[in-house]
Amino acid sequence: GVHAIAWHLEEAFRKDSAGWALEKCINWDKEEKAMPSFQTEIIDCPCTLAQARADTGRFHVGVQQ
């Protein structure tokens, strides 16, 4: 059957929801691959709590409750 909210989505979804979803996933994957990697911008985590406490400019030690 048709989902009650399907009227709100594109006609392509109403005609073939699986094909519509696959196309959205493929497009998302292509866009992700075209974006620059953010991993080179992320700093490494400190190895120890002492290193994190010493590097107060980049890390903050939170208090657990």
Q: What is the DSSP string of 36-47?
A: PPSGGGSPPPPS
Alpha carbons 24 and 30: distance in angstroms, whole number? 10
- Which amino acid appears at position 64 of this protein? Q
Give the C-alpha separation, 22 to 30, whole Å.
Answer: 12
Residue of higher predicted confidence among 1 and 47: 47
pLDDT band at 3 (very low <50, low <70, confident <90, very high): low
Whether residue 65 is predicted with pLDDT greater than 70 in this model: the reply is no
For the whole prediction, is pTM greater than 0.75? Answer: no
Express as a percent the part of the chain with pLDDT over 90: 25
Ordered by start, the domain boundaries in the chain are 6-54
